[in-house]
C-alpha cells in the first residue's frame, strides 16, 4: 500500500469520525433540548405532564429550553452545565419521593421576545382576567410592591400540579391587600372593578315627582366608603408564621432575621424563586355571609370590649393612683369564665354569660361566707358610687355657676379634675363591686377628693 493510499484512508477515517461525532453531538443537542428528555427525570415528571396539558405552549412546540433559558443561551456551555447539574442530581437522588427544592424561573426577556409576547403587543391590550375584571399589563410594568420588582413570573406561576402556568387570584390579593387599608392605594376597588351603572334599588319619586335613583357613581361622588355595604370582603393579612419558616430553617439566628422583609425577599424570591405562599398565608377576597364577621368578632363594632373590667381586675388605669392594685385572682390567672357561668339576658333581651356568686364556694370550698361577702362588696361599692355621683353633680353645678366669676386658670384646673374624677368613677362602676372591691374604693375615694377640691376652690372665688 502506497504512502498516498495510507494518507487517504486516515483522512477518510478521520472525516467519517468527525461526521459521526458531529452527528452524535447534534443529535444529543437536539434530544436533550426536547421536553420529553426533561420529562424523563422522575423529579420533572409532573412538570412535563402539566406542560403537555398546557395547550398554549405544547401545541405550538414551545419547549422547556425556549423559556427557561434566555434568548441565545440554549446552545451555550452555560446551559449544558446547568443540564449536567440536573443530571447529577437525578442520578444521586433517585427516589420517587424527591422533589425539586429550588424552583426554576423564566426570565422576562424569554417571555417578551418577538416570537412570543412582545411588550408592545401587551402594554395597552385589555385582557379578560375574569368575567367582571379586565387586566392591562402596562399598569404593572416597572412596578414594585414592598420593594419587590414585578416580573412576568410574579403572577404567571406554576402552583397546581395539573397546570403549567396560571395566574392565581391569591397572587393578586397578596399584592393588592397586604398591609394596606381597604379601598385605599393599591387596594382601591375601582382599580379592578368597574362601577355598575344600574341603580342599586328601584328609583323612588320625590315630592316633585322626579325620580332620584341611587347609583354606585353617586355614592362614590358623595365619598361614601365602599365598606358601608361591601364589608369584610377581604379576610386575612398574608402573615408569615414562624412555624412555616421552621419547615426549612432550624437555626435560631436565622429565625431572628424573619422580620427583615427586604432580606427575606432577596434570599427567597430573588435567589431561590420561592412561591409567595411558601411563606405567606393566603388572603381571601370574596363575598361572605352578611354580618357573620361582625357577629363573630365583637371588636369590629366594639373596639375595646370590657376594657374597664380588665383595668379594674389588673388594678390599673386609675388617675392619681401611683401603683397597681390587682385582685388576688389576677395573679393566679383566673379568667372571666371561672365566674360567668349562668345564662342571662341583658336589657335588650340578648343572651350573655352572667356572673354567679355561688362560684366562689367552688374554689373556696364550702365557704358560704364568701358568697355572702360578694353580695356585700356590691352593696358597699354601689353605696359609695351613689354618694360620689351626687358630689359629681355638685361639682358640675359649681363649674357652671363660676363660669363668669372664677379665673380661666381655675376653671381649666377644675374641668381637668372633673374629667379625672369621672374617669375613675367609670372604672369603679364597671367593676360592679365584685371584680376588685379594694381598687374600686381607691378609685372612688380619689374621685371624691378631686370633686370636693373642685367645689371648695370654686366656692372661695364666688
- Nearest CA to 311 out of 295, 327, 300 is that of 327
Highest mean pLDDT of the ranges 106-115, 321-330, 395-404, 418-427? 418-427
96 against 256, higher pLDDT: 256
Residues whose CB is less than 8 angstroms from the CB of residue 301 and which lie 6 or more positions away in sequence, other chains included: 294
- Nearest CA to 433 out of 372, 378, 368 is that of 378
- pLDDT at res. 81: 67
The model's confidence at residue 93, banded by pLDDT at 50, 70 and 90, is low
First to last CA, the chain: 143
- pLDDT at res. 84: 64
Asked whether residue 267 is domain-assigned, the answer is no
> From start to end of 213-370, where are the E strands?
234-235, 284-285, 340-345, 351-355
Number of structural domains found in the chain? 2
Residue 25 has pLDDT above 70, yes or no: no
Which DSSP helix (H) or strand (E) runs through 390?
helix 368-401
Residue 398 has pLDDT above 70, yes or no: yes
| Rounded Cα gap, residues 398 and 414, in angstroms | 9
* Cell 361591601 sits on residue: 230
The model's confidence at residue 356, banded by pLDDT at 50, 70 and 90, is confident
Asked whether residue 234 is domain-assigned, the answer is no
Indicate the residue among 111, 142, 174 that finishes a domain. Answer: 111
- pLDDT at res. 346: 84
Asked whether residue 181 is domain-assigned, the answer is no
- Nearest CA to 61 out of 114, 115, 21 is that of 115
345 strand-pairing partners: 351
Question: Residue 32: phi, psi to the nearest 5?
Answer: -75, -15
Give the SS3 label for residue 135. strand
Asked whether residue 291 is domain-assigned, the answer is no
394 near 340, Cβ under 8 Å? Answer: no
CATH number at residue 370: 1.20.140.10
Indicate the residue among 111, 135, 156 that finishes a domain. Answer: 111
pLDDT, the chain, mean: 81
Asked whether residue 271 is domain-assigned, the answer is no
Angle between helices 437-460 and 408-431 (to 10 degrees): 160
Which DSSP helix (H) or strand (E) runs through 149?
strand 148-149
Length of the chain: 462
Question: Residue 126: phi, psi to the nearest 5?
Answer: -90, 115
Asked whether residue 272 is domain-assigned, the answer is no
Asked whether residue 64 is domain-assigned, the answer is yes
Q: Is 126 exposed, middle or buried (0-12, 13-18, 19+ CB in 10 A)?
A: exposed
pLDDT > 70 fraction of the chain, expressed in percent and rounded = 86
87 against 228, higher pLDDT: 228
| Rounded Cα gap, residues 348 and 328, in angstroms | 33
Indicate the residue among 89, 111, 133 that finishes a domain. Answer: 111
Boundaries of domain holding 89: 3-111
Question: How much is the pTM?
Answer: 0.62
Lookup: cell for 172? 393578586
What is the distance, to the nearest Å, from the Cα of residue 11 to the centroid of all Cα atoms in its chain? 73
* Cell 315630592 sits on residue: 207
pLDDT in tens, 152-169: 888 888 777 677 888 888
Asked whether residue 232 is domain-assigned, the answer is no
| Rounded Cα gap, residues 355 and 338, in angstroms | 9
Amino acid at each position: 500500500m502506497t504512502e498516498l493510499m495510507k494518507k487517504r484512508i486516515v483522512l477518510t477515517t478521520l472525516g467519517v469520525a468527525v461526521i459521526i461525532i458531529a452527528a452524535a453531538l447534534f443529535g444529543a443537542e437536539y434530544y436533550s433540548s426536547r421536553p420529553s428528555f426533561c420529562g424523563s427525570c422522575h423529579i420533572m415528571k409532573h412538570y412535563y405532564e402539566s406542560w403537555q396539558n398546557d395547550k398554549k405552549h405544547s401545541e405550538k412546540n414551545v419547549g422547556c429550553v425556549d423559556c427557561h433559558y434566555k434568548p441565545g443561551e440554549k446552545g451555550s456551555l452555560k446551559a449544558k452545565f446547568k443540564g449536567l447539574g440536573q443530571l447529577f442530581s437525578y442520578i444521586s437522588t433517585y427516589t420517587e419521593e424527591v422533589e425539586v427544592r429550588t424552583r426554576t424561573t423564566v426570565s422576562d426577556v424569554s417571555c417578551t421576545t418577538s416570537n412570543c409576547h412582545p411588550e408592545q403587543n401587551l402594554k395597552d391590550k385589555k385582557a379578560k382576567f375574569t368575567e367582571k375584571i379586565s387586566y392591562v399589563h402596562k399598569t404593572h410594568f416597572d412596578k414594585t410592591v414592598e420593594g419587590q420588582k414585578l416580573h412576568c413570573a410574579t403572577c404567571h406561576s406554576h402552583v397546581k400540579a395539573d397546570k403549567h402556568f396560571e395566574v392565581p387570584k391569591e397572587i393578586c390579593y397578596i399584592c393588592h391587600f397586604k398591609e394596606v387599608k381597604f379601598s385605599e392605594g393599591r387596594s382601591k376597588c375601582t382599580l379592578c372593578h368597574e362601577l355598575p351603572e344600574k341603580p342599586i334599588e328601584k328609583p323612588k319619586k320625590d315630592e316633585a315627582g322626579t325620580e332620584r335613583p341611587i347609583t354606585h357613581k353617586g355614592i362614590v361622588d358623595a365619598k361614601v366608603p365602599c365598606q358601608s355595604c361591601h364589608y369584610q370582603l377581604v379576610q386575612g393579612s398574608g402573615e408569615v408564621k414562624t412555624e412555616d419558616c421552621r419547615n426549612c430553617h432550624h437555626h435560631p439566628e436565622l429565625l431572628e432575621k424573619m422580620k427583615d422583609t427586604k432580606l427575606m425577599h432577596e434570599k427567597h424570591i430573588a435567589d431561590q424563586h420561592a412561591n409567595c405562599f411558601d411563606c405567606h398565608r393566603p388572603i381571601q377576597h370574596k363575598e361572605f355571609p352578611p354580618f357573620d364577621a361582625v357577629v363573630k368578632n365583637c371588636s369590629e363594632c366594639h373596639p375595646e370590649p370590657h376594657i374597664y373590667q380588665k383595668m379594674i381586675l389588673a388594678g390599673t388605669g386609675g388617675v392619681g393612683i401611683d401603683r397597681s392594685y390587682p385582685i388576688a385572682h389576677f395573679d393566679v390567672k383566673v379568667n372571666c369564665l371561672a365566674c360567668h357561668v349562668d345564662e342571662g339576658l341583658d336589657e335588650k333581651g340578648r343572651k350573655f354569660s352572667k356572673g354567679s356568686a355561688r362560684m366562689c364556694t367552688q374554689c373556696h370550698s364550702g365557704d358560704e361566707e364568701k358568697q355572702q361577702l360578694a353580695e356585700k362588696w356590691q352593696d358597699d361599692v354601689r353605696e359609695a358610687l351613689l354618694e360620689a355621683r351626687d358630689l359629681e353633680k355638685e361639682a358640675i353645678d359649681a363649674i357652671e355657676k363660676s363660669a363668669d366669676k372664677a379665673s380661666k386658670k381655675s376653671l381649666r384646673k377644675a374641668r381637668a379634675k372633673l374629667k379625672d374624677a369621672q374617669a375613675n368613677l367609670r372604672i369603679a362602676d364597671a367593676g360592679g363591686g365584685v371584680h376588685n372591691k379594694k381598687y374600686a374604693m381607691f378609685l372612688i375615694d380619689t374621685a371624691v377628693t378631686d370633686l370636693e377640691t373642685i367645689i371648695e376652690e370654686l366656692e372661695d372665688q364666688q
